[in-house]
Structure 1
């Protein structure tokens, strides 16, 4: 693919875990990538531009989109991967918890997608894909998750609404809804911050009896990237969690 025709993707939450793997996945597809997170540093790949910032801040979304267009001249795909999960009984959520989770999960999606859409339209079309959570569709008494469901559930509904609003203008909008994935968010051993989250406990939440791998989610996002007749889809990659227990 020539540089002139090279497609460009933005990936949020790109410094580790699923986000870092998505950056590499899009690079393997031949895309240039703008990778953003609060702690991301510069890399040595000329096809990856890193932008540090808090995606909950509208100014970060503006900087990220502007950097994509300035550096690479276009924008084709936005991957709203950034997200945080706080598992607490509902009445124990604090104002700080609420602000953090809604800021990253909801505000981040809203501002980045809104800033990007005019540039996707300028290209004649594009793709927006968000990473949510299977707990939205399959609540589990062992994993209190009201803030995740409030925010990521909102993303799933917004995905369908945006897909229909822009279906006639060449922009597809989809989401991947994972189960629990082996990432730095879920350490293998008990820690003070994750007293119950051993991998054995998390694996048992899935009917197939294992946690997801980062590659499972990347493969799903890239499938949607290359599926021109798919829009408004919530693709569950969750080891059967959303189907039942």
Structure 2
């Protein structure tokens, strides 16, 4: 169980890359954490509970929220970090691509957020954060990504709708829209060209994303915000 007054964060897509960085960031902030992904390993940290599962399966959402309330008694923050990204010409996307992307990016967001918000309402406070992409606001002819824009754009719209629906009941909703972040999904030989796609001239680091999310966490007067952590991409070129 968490100690009295200790806050609790739930983080999806948490086994590596940005998700693992967010787990570390929230633990350093003093939060207990429930972390989930398909391949996440068990934890020896008493303040960190891991739940294996595919977030596109609504049963996973139920297991994660149950673990949070059972082990720690509350949920203060949900970070919807799990996501898939496929860059293809629009006419090359398959039905399988569509179902996989919408399953993780939209269905994965929907049920766990419903359950987390229900818990937050009993507490009278909470915070929901979506990880999206700057491509929603800044289409780029070099990155053909209609499915990413469709699904992550939906999350950004939902972010604002949630913020307004629950503002009077103590629940905030924000999003962080990313540029290209240096994670294992990007081979090192592509880093120079990926860095050049940002006005700041570099790829983002995982720490940049964690800093952005924790800024929102520490900002109780901010809700309905889409914070761009994208090296200036959304501002123009």
What TM-score bracket applies, with the shorter chain setting the length?
over 0.9
The aligned counterpart of 2:31 is: 31
Q: Structure 1 stretches of 5 or more lacking a match?
A: 190-197
The aligned counterpart of 2:225 is: 233
Post-superposition offset of 1:12? 0.2
The aligned counterpart of 1:42 is: 42
RMSD of aligned Cα (Å): 0.8
CA distance in 1, matches of 2:56, 2:211: 27
The aligned counterpart of 1:201 is: 193
The aligned counterpart of 1:194 is: none
CA distance in 2, matches of 1:105, 1:60: 14
Post-superposition offset of 1:57? 0.6
Q: Structure 2 stretches of 5 or more lacking a match?
A: none
CA distance in 1, matches of 2:144, 2:68: 38
Post-superposition offset of 1:118? 1.0
Find the residue that maps to 2:213 and give its secondary structure: helix
- Do residues 161 (structure 1) and 179 (structure 2) align? no
TM-score under structure 2 length normalisation:
0.98
Post-superposition offset of 1:113? 0.3
- Do residues 215 (structure 1) and 207 (structure 2) align? yes
Deviation sequence 1:121-172 (CA, Å, 0-9, x none): 1111110001000011001000001000000000000000000000000000
The aligned counterpart of 1:148 is: 148
Post-superposition offset of 1:71? 0.6
Post-superposition offset of 1:187? 1.8
The aligned counterpart of 1:89 is: 89
The aligned counterpart of 1:244 is: 236
Alignment of 1:166-177 (within 5 A): 166-177=166-177
CA distance in 1, matches of 2:3, 2:18: 26
CA distance in 2, matches of 1:43, 1:68: 14
Find the residue that maps to 1:235 and give its secondary structure: strand
Deviation sequence 1:75-122 (CA, Å, 0-9, x none): 111000001100000000011111111111111111110111111111
Find the residue that maps to 1:5 and give its secondary structure: coil
Alignment of 1:1-20 (within 5 A): 3-20=3-20
